[in-house]
Structures are given as C-alpha cells and as structure tokens.
Amino acid sequence: MYADIIVDISHEHLDKTFQYAVPDHLLDEIDIGVMVNVPFGRGNKIITGYVVNLTKQPSYDILKIKDIKEIVPQRVKTVERMIQLAAWLRHNYGSTMNQALKTVIPVKDKIQAKQRKIISLVVSKEEACTVLEQFQKKHAVAMARVLQALINEGKCDVSDIQTKLNITAKTIQALENKGLVQIETEHIYRNPIKGTILQNESVELNHQQKEAIHTFIEDYNNKIRKTYLLYGITGSGKTNVYIEMIEHVVNLGKQVIVLIPEIALTFQTVQRFYRRFGDKVSIMNSRMSKGERYDQFKRAMAGEIRIMIGPRSVLFTPFNDLGLIVIDEEHETAYKSEQSPKYHARETAVHIAETMSASVVLGSATPSLESYYRAQQGLYQLIKLDKRATGANLPNIYVEDLRKELNEGNRSILSRRLAAMIDDRLKKHQQVILFLNKRGYAGFISCRSCGKVFKCPHCDISLTHHINHYGNELVCHYCGYRQPEIKVCPECGSKYVSGFRAGTQQVEQMLSQTFPTAKILRMDMDTTSKKGSHEAILSSFANHEADILVGTQMIVKGHDFPHVTLVGILAADMSLYVSDYRASERTFQLLVQAAGRAGRAKMPGDVVIQTYTPNHYSIEAAKEQNYEQFYDEEIIFRQMLGYPPIQNILKISISSKNEDALLAACQDIAKWQDKIKSELLTKSKRSALSAESGLEMRMNGREELQITGPIKAPIYKLNDIYTQIILVKSKDYEILTDFKDKCDIYVRDNVMYKNISVQYDFN
C-alpha cells in the first residue's frame, strides 16, 4: 500500500504530493486524513504530512519510495470531505494544498478535554457553620474563606476557589483531611455559553416573517435545496426568521452552521439562539483556547451539538449531515480570508451546501452587490422583509454639506445642525452615537472648498497620499498610477486641498470642550485592546453611564441601545474614497447600518450625515434608506469598469527580498503572460464551440481576458520585501483559475523564480 502525502511545509515549490510506502504494522491504522511523520529530502529529516490518497499502485520506482515512519499520535483525523474541500479552495482561490488543508482543519490537536475538580461539603451546613466560627476565632482565614464559599454556594470549582479566593492546594488538602469537604473529578465538555438564563423570547411573528419562513419550509419539505437572500431592513426581525428555519432543519435530525461576523458575535446575539436551542447550540470564537475548540469539534462530530455559531472558520465544522448554513450580515468584509487561500465564506458556503445537499440563507439589510446581482439573475431566491418588526419608524435623516459649513465660516468638525441636535439630546437626557469611519484615514485627497476628489484616470478609484523618497505623491492602489501631489485645486483654485485627518481622539477632545458637562465614551482600536474592554464600554453605554459614544465602525454592529435618539456620521466621505472598487458599497452599508442604531425603541430617532459630496448616489440612497436605488446606480458603475460581480478580477502579487531578481522575473512573466493569453482565449473559444449554449456570449465578448502589469504594488517595499502586481480580469472565473494554474506550474519549475513568492487574490 502506498500513500500520497502533502507535507506540512507551505512552499510553492513543494506544493505536490509525495508518495510513501505504508509499512505492514501501520496498515490497520492508516487512512485518508490521518497525519503521519515521514523522512523527507536527502537528509531524511522527519516532518509531518497529511495522507490525501491511498493506492496499491506505486507511481515511482519502489526501491526509491521511503516508508512512513509513524502515525502522529493525538491528532484529529480529518474527514475525507474536508480534503476535497481543501482541493476546491486551492483551485478557486490559489494557495498551496498545505495551506488549504490548514484552513479546513482549524482544530488539529486532540487536547485532553478539561477535567474539572469540584469541591463540596461532606458535613451539613449547620455543622459547617459551627466549624467556620471556630476557624474564625483561630484566625484560620484561608480555611474560613473556603467554608464560607461552600456554605453560600454548595459546590464550587476547585480552580475557581483557588484563583478567586487566593487559596493554596494545601488549604484544600487540609480541609479534606479534616473530613469536612470532598473533591470529585468531573470530566466535562466545556460549553462556552453555559450559565445563561433560559427564558423563551416569545414574539408573535408578523406576516412577512411568517411568509419568509413558510417559503423556506415549503421548499425544504419538497427536497428543494437552494440559496436564499433574506433582504430585511435593520430591525425587521431577521434573527427570529433564522431561528424558525433552523428549528425546522434541526427537527429533521440535521445540523446547522450559523456564521456571524466576530465583531457582532456578542452575548446578546448568542443568547437569542441559546434560549431557543439550549445545549444543542454552541459557539466558536478566536478567544477560545485550543482545548475549548477541540471540545466543540468533538461534540459536533459526536452529534451532541446540532447548531454551531461563529465566524467564517466554523464553516469547517465536521458535521456529517449538514442541512442549512445561515450567514448573517452576509455583506461583511470579515467573511473573506486575508490569508491564502483567500476564500470567501459566502461562496464556500454555497459550494459546501451543494456537496452536502443543504440550503443556504444569506441575510442582510444591505446585501452585497454580488448576492443581490445573483438574486436578480435567479441564482438565489430573494426574500424581502421591509418593515421594522417592533413597529418603530425608520429615523429621519439629514445630510449636511461640509463645504457649505466651511464657506460660511464654520471650521468645526461638527456641522451647526449636528451641534444643535447634540445639545438638545443632552438637555433631554437622551443618548448620542457619533461615528467616525476610520477606514480611509490614511487619506483620500479632496478639495475642502468645492469637494472635488482626485481620482485615478484609469480606474476611477480615488488616489491615496503617499510620502516616499520622491517626495509627496498621489498613488492609485489598483494600477499603480502615480502623480505629484496637488497643492491648488484645479477646479476652484482653493488651497484647502487635503485629506480628512481627524481621529476619534481629537473628536473626543473637541466634544469635551464644546459640551463640558457631557459624559463621553470612546471606542476604537486604542480603547479596546484589552480583553473585555469592548464589552465593558458597550455595557456602560447601554446602562446610560455616558451621554455620547464616539467610535469607529465597531460601534455600528448589532447592539440595541434604546436611549439613543441621535446618530451622527462625522465624515461619510472617508469610506467613499478609499481606494477600493467597493468603496461606495461600503459607504452605503455603513451609513444604513449606522442609521439603524437610531430610535430602535419607542422614541423617534434622527441621523445626521456630514459630507463633502451630498450628491453622491450612495449618500443620496442612504438618505432615502433605499437599497434598490443604490444598487441600480452601483451596478452600472461595475458594468462600465468591469468590476465584480460583472467581471472577475485576479490579483497576482509577485514578491521577493531581492529587487533585481524580482524585476528580472517580472520581465520574464510579462512575456509569458502574452503567450498564455492567446492560448487561453483560443481554448475558451474551442470549448465554447463544443458547448453550444455558451457560443454567442463567448464570441461577442471582445475582451475576455485583460491583463495589466506587472507594475509596482502601491506599497512597493514593505519589511524589506518588494512586490509587483498583475491584474487579470475576465467575465469567466474559470479562465482566471486556468491562468492561475498555468502560472503556478510555470513558476514552480523555473529556477528564475526560486526566491520569489507568488500569491493570488480573487475579486
């Protein structure tokens, strides 16, 4: 028996399987998905690897095939479908197989599930009280403290007692020797959401919610599996809809995965699921230890957990009969991985669902252009909720023109309207949220007098200010276009040409000067770096311990603050001009989600959006809270410039520490890509001819494949590594993956690329 093995080294040049022989004594244990130790290379260094295939046919000279050394003990065996999924990720997003395997196997080690020691009284409470008095008289403080705790609570966790009451193991031993307490070892699975109150949230679902659930259940019972886009405005009660759908699927004995962006994965949200499903539901998050994660996986595999909630990595929960994947806030950027393979959880979920005959429900108040486009094309089924479930009205939205404020002599960060409204809320003892989108902090460049934004002539993406050894430059983050800094606005002659450069800290200072009596909380990266500080700030604000909360986008997500009646967005443009083709989409989403924080309860809410470009369609559509209006404009922009979802983009980053080697490689690859381009195009035409239906579309598409670059990356040198980029665009995703595969093969066997790394990023 021979095993094909992916070695645990993520290097492009080793991205292939290696064959080893299975020694007789391992025949029983060997299986696809197990982890093994093997001798590798000339020195026969022992390294680990995953078995991805078993065969009786050797592919090499059997005299040269080495033996597997051993099976790594204490490893979780990977289920076979995860290996197939890894291959799919590798194909569609580009990475080594080893990186892809690491992605689909988030839990590798069998870490011993925690054993808990429980201490309890062996004597009656009355007796314990008598002994307690004696201890106190004798000043045996430590023993007295333990007894007191046990009298109050009955049972306690030994490690809790030790840490919280500052007790040593000796003291506990002494109590045990005196025959007062006993210690029992309890083997437990840790349920991370235990200890919450079980109280059913009973709301009478409204007509729209019932319709949505009915559609899903009807299909499900008719064995129809598909992807639904649940487009429901903020506060329309999407969570209740998910819960009913989930219950239906769980009652059929199937399992469910629920993705929620980590930032929105708050206690409040999780509790709503826990209340309905109790111990059947569990969560994963990045703060959990390896042992805790292993426990959850084991419980999932054993069928004890039926619903797993968490960020994108819970997609890889090894359920064996998955029935449904729910993705809440499906438009969130956090669903795309920043490491290779740079997979998107939404697309991956749809793929997993197809392979396991499950359905997918994507939910959002501001769907991604991709999802809404697919719904329009009939690939996803659109379900709409357009009323707030609590009956509360949507807020009043005011758009304030900051150019006008400046021209009329107001140089403050606050428009006159926003300042007056804050003052009014403080008097009424209501709360205010001020939101500063920090995404574009490094700065788009605009004229503060006329609002003109300086954009790349090739990409229609705003230029970003960079300081380097050429001096001040404006750079396009897409194509690498550069031009000297602009000092005077070519449109109106004003000298106020700059980036918007106020941070949350300055805003906080300015507020405390303007409103000296107001209590202000700030929430941003600086104030939330300590564990738990995030929750502390939010709960303090929820308890009305402050009047104003100033923060970055992290305050926008999923919190209900009933006393908030005013939300101010200080500079809506900041996200409008980050150099990203999704900038308008992000802005619209942020504005709508931020506005959704105002007036959630009985009191009506107001929203003030401050901007230099009040006529931009994403701001106009946000003012109307009208997603379709936004979509109709945005899809035209994507169409004209060939951005997703109309076309697909592959970004190839080529980097090296050696600049000369990099430049030589780029010259070489430029020649290679011209050759490959014509090859790919003839190939796609040929395949189109055989597949009749695609024929017309293919032949009419003039530019099926566009290549730009290699060109310097916007940040050309970072940590001593130089990077050049190539952008490849095509309507046909498969042409891009073909391009990637061919590039991979070309680079792998070419000495010129020995010290050069090639990375892929799709869309």
Q: Which of 288, 356, 492, 721 binds Zn ion (CB under 5 A)?
A: 492
Please say which residue, 449 or 584, places its beta carbon nearer to Zn ion: 449
Q: What is the CA radius of gyration of the chain?
A: 30
Residue 459 interaction partner, one of Zn ion, ligand ADP, none, beta carbon < 5-8 Å per kind: Zn ion
341 makes contact, choosing from Zn ion, ligand ADP, none, with CB < 5 to 8 Å by partner type, with none
Name the 3-class secondary structure at 694.
helix
Q: Which of ligand ADP, Zn ion, none does residue 390 bind to, with CB < 5 to 8 Å depending on kind?
A: ligand ADP
Smallest Cα–Cα separation from 560: which of 616, 599, 613?
Answer: 599
Q: Tell me: does residue 545 bind Zn ion (CB under 5 A).
A: no
Give Cα separations from 701 to 59, 305, 373 (angstroms): 43, 49, 20
Q: Which of 37, 494, 626, 629 contacts Zn ion by CB under 5 A?
A: 494
Taking CB under 5 A as the rule, does residue 481 contact Zn ion? yes
Per CB under 5 A, which region of 243-251, 388-396, 450-458, 630-638 contacts Zn ion? 450-458
Q: Report, in Å, the least distance between residue 263 CB and ligand ADP.
A: 15
Q: Using the rule CB under 5 A, is 708 a contact of Zn ion?
A: no
3-state secondary structure of 7: strand
434 belongs to the binding site for Zn ion (CB under 5 A): no
725 forms part of the interface with Zn ion (CB under 5 A): no
My answer on whether omega of the bond before 645 falls inside 30° of 0, hence cis, is yes
DSSP 3-state assignment of 55?
Answer: strand
Q: Compute the distance between CA of residue 527 and CA of residue 633 in angstroms, rounded to an integer.
A: 38
Q: How far is the CB of 239 from ligand ADP (least distance, A)?
A: 3
Among 180, 230, 249, 476, the residue binding Zn ion under the rule CB under 5 A is 476
Query: Any contact of residue 459 with Zn ion (CB under 5 A)?
Result: yes
Closer by beta carbon to ligand ADP, 243 or else 548: 243
Strands in 35-40's sheet, in edge-to-edge order, are 18-21, 2-7, 45-55, 35-40, 70-71
Nearest-angstrom CA–CA distance, 731 and 734: 9
Question: Is 564 a residue that touches Zn ion (CB under 5 A)?
Answer: no
Place of tokens 């487009």: 231
- 205, interface contact from Zn ion, ligand ADP, none, CB < 5-8 Å by kind: ligand ADP
Q: How far is the CB of 204 from ligand ADP (least distance, A)?
A: 6
Q: In whole angstroms, what is the distance from residue 40 CA to residue 42 CA? A: 7
Task: Name which of 447 and 607 has its Cβ closer to Zn ion.
Answer: 447
* Residue 479 binds to Zn ion (criterion: CB under 5 A): yes
Which range of residues in 36-44, 259-267, 269-277, 492-500 is near Zn ion by CB under 5 A?
492-500
Among Zn ion, ligand ADP, none, partner that 520 touches (CB below 5 to 8 angstroms by kind)? none
Q: Smallest gap, in angstroms, from Cβ of residue 268 to ligand ADP?
A: 9
With CB under 5 to 8 Å by kind, the binding choice for 447 among Zn ion, ligand ADP, none is Zn ion
Assess contact for 71 and 26: CB atoms under 8 A. Answer: yes
Among 216, 220, 478, 753, binds Zn ion (CB under 5 A): 478
CB closer to ligand ADP, 208 vs 673:
208
- In three-state secondary structure terms, 755 is coil
Per rule CB under 5 A, is residue 495 in the interface with Zn ion?
Answer: no
Query: For strand 497-498 and strand 446-447, is the pairing parallel, antiparallel, or unpaired?
Result: antiparallel
User: Residue 20 or 478: which CB sits closer to Zn ion?
Assistant: 478
Distance of CA 54 to the CA centre of its chain: 35
- Cβ atoms 240, 203 nearer than 8 A: yes
- Reported for 169-178, long-range contacts at CB under 8 A and 24+ positions apart, including other chains, are 171/142, 171/143, 171/146, 172/119, 172/146, 174/143, 175/143, 175/146, 175/147
| Minimum distance, C-beta of residue 374 to Zn ion, in the bound complex (Å) | 28
Please compute, for residue 69, the number of CA atoms within 13 A of its CA located in the half-sphere on the CB side: 13
The residues binding ligand ADP (CB under 6 A) are 203-206, 209, 232, 234-240, 389-390
How many residues in total does the chain contain? 763
First to last CA, the chain: 42
Which of ligand ADP, Zn ion, none has residue 389 at its interface (CB below 5 to 8 Å by kind)? ligand ADP
Which residues, numbered 201-220, are part of the site for Zn ion (CB under 5 A)? none
Identity of the residue, 237 or 318, whose beta carbon is nearer to ligand ADP in the bound complex: 237
Closest distance of CB 290 from Zn ion, Å: 44
CA distance 191 to 180: 30
Residue 272 CB, nearest approach to Zn ion (Å): 45
For residue 539, what are the contacts with CB-CB under 8 A and spacing of at least 6? none
Number of amino acids touching Zn ion (CB under 5 A): 15
| Cα(390)–Cα(204) distance, integer angstroms | 11
> Which residues bind to Zn ion, rule: CB under 5 A?
447, 449-450, 452, 456, 458-459, 476, 478-479, 481, 489, 491-492, 494
